[in-house]
Each structure stands twice: as structure tokens, then as C-alpha cells.
Amino acid sequence: MRPLDGITVVSLEHAIAAPFATRQLADLGARVIKIERPGVGDFARAYDTRVNGLASHFVWTNRSKESLTLDLKNPHALAILQKLLQEADVLVQNLAPGAAARLGLSRDDLKADNPALIVCNISGYGEDGPDKDRKAYDLLIQAEAGFLSVTGTQETPCKAGISIADIAAGMYAYTNILAALIQRGKTGQGASIDISMLEAMAEWMGFPMYYAYDGANPPARKGGSHATIYPYGPFMAGDGKVMMLGLQNEREWDVFCKTVLKDTSLATDPRFASNALRAENKDVLRNIILSAFAELNAEQVVERLNTAGIANARMNDIADLWSHPQLSARERWGEVASGAGPIPTLLPPGRSDAFSPRLGPVPELGEHSRTILAELGVDAQAIAALEKQGAI
């Protein structure tokens, strides 16, 4: 038995934020019915063809779901959705601002027929305020939330290499829905949840915001290095290979000097007597570290770091991640079916001894339309008529 077995989620979703949230609900056993446009579907289906002809984003965020195609501009299709929602537990949507409300899909519109329904709305800026009608995409929210101002090099701000604003919003949608389900178990009542991508990213910007508290200078962009802790970042060995290392306290600095740099005098050098001083004198310290590492290859540097108990990491690329020995040793790989054949997939983070996560197929567009409509009592003749109209 999985935690969300018996829970039905209906989702008007596209791109990343809402699909990422609902996929995690599906991992826990929820039945997720994904509403898509007939003939087109979630536009993320067409982002690329990297996974045996399927889109990488879509494969990642849509396993274990059922695809029902509905043209919500058609009153017959909208009536089907409303009937579906009468028995659903959760509605998730990340349509354009105001679109769900115009369709009569707000919590206020739906609670008369289903007072236990949880409605989660995901948008760029939230349901009110001066920016409520602004369109929002991941990169735009990264910029709006100040993320680009602290990411990149001194010369050039950089976006995250992943859809971090979408992921943040999806995670808060997921956790808020779980909280609402727990609360509903106590009160019997549903809830309306308003998730803002900007607010999700603003929360994740908590450290730089407080670092720049009351008009103080914000953390500088430092590329792969930490903005305020030193040494913490990439360093090159004599063989040209780069490894990451990080020191967090004075005990680690002392052992780093003695065991890794082999220079005990540095441990008491007044220029490096605290993290603040090491950061202030980082250019001098960086040259000292690189000079010591120049006589060693990367393997020898890592051996010294491990002996000293200094945290370090390889500078892996994506191929290295696919073959990471730790993921294999912990048996974190599974497989899902799809219209393009079986696809490897990582198990969701958080290994539990209470249940196994659901790893269902990635749905084809409209794959489950007939089955779901039949469950709602729509007969074969009516289904054929809806197909002819283009309603499904």
C-alpha cells in the first residue's frame, strides 16, 4: 500500500511546475489524470526528441499518469471535466493567469459539488497583486527573483542549467497538497492553494537576501566558487583535472594546511586566521593552493583530501551521472514503459521501507480517454460523437 493509494488528482497542466508536482503525487500512489488538448497535448511533449523520440522534460515529469484529451472550449468536454471533479480529491492547474477561473474551475465554483476538493493553482506571481496577470517562464522568474544577480561570474550573470524556478514551484505545490490532504483528514474540508513561482524562488533566495540585509552588499558572483566561504570551489591539479573541495570551519582549515598543503605555517598565518580573512585574501590563498596541487595529479589530491576528512567532489558531467557508482550501489535505478519502449528512470528521492514508489508508464496523448469516459458512464456512441466533434 502506498501513502496516496485511492487519491485521485485531476491536472490541467503543461511544461514543468504542475507536472513535476503531480508526478510526485503519482509516485506515492495517487491516480493522476492529466487533461490535454486534443491533437496537441502538453506542449512539453514537443520540446525535443532525445528519449527514443520522446521529449526529455515530458518523460521526466509525466510517468505514472493517465492522459485524457478534452477541448475545454467545447461545453460537452467541460461538462465531462466538471463531472470528473465531483469525485476527485485534488485539482492542480498552471494554465495562463485567470484561465481556470474563466472556465468555472475555482475552488468557490467547485466546492458546492465537492466540498472536500483541494484546488492548487500555480502561477508566476500569484492570484492577486499588481503582477497577477503577467506571464511567467522559468528564466524570467530566475531574473525577477534576483537569482541571476548572484549566479555566474563577476562579468556575466548566468541562469541555472535546470528549470529551478519551475522545480521550486512544483515542490511547494507538492508539499502544500500533502499538507492539505492531512488537514482534510482532520476537518473533512478541502482547500484552495495559491502557489507563486516568484515566492517559491524568493524563499530559496533566503541566504543572499539576509546576507544583503538592510542595504548591505549582496554576495558577489563567483562562478563555481562559494560567494562567502573560502576555500570552497573548483581547484585544478597538476594533471589539468579539476576537483571541488570545501572547508567549513577552523578545525578543517588546520588539518587542510597540515595534511593536504603540507605547510603547517599556513594554519597560523594571520592572513588566513578566519573564514572572513581567507575570503578577503582569497587571491593569495588560491595561488598557494594551486601551487601545492600543481605537483600532484587529481587522484593524489583527492587521496590527501580524504585522509584529512575534507569534503570533495568530482567535476562530473551528465554521462558520469548516468553511471554514478553510488546510484548503482544503492539500486536507485528503475524502469518505466512508454510508447517508445522501456526507459530507465531514477527512483524518487527518499528511500522508504514502508512502500515502493509507483513507476508507471509515460502516457501517450489521449491514451486513457475512452477508459476514463466509460468510467464516467459515457457510452460508446457518445464517445464517438465527442471524437467527431474534436471535443476529446
Residue 329: C-alpha distances to residues 80, 92, 179, 192, 326 (Å): 47, 36, 33, 42, 5
**What three-state secondary structure class fits 169?**
helix
Using an 8 Å Cβ cutoff, are 107 and 116 in contact? no
Q: Residue 143: which of 154, 134, 151 has the closest Cα?
A: 151
Q: Residue 118: CA atoms inside 13 Å, Cβ hemisphere, count? A: 23
* Catalytic member of 14, 57, 76, 226: 226
Burial of 12 (0-12, 13-18, 19+ CB in 10 A): buried
Residue 236 φ then ψ, to 5°: -100, 135
14 classed as catalytic? no
Exposure string (b/e) for 143-182, b if CB count within 10 Å is 16 or more? ebbbbbbbbeeeeeeebeeebbbbbbbbbbbbebbeebbe
Catalytic residues: 226
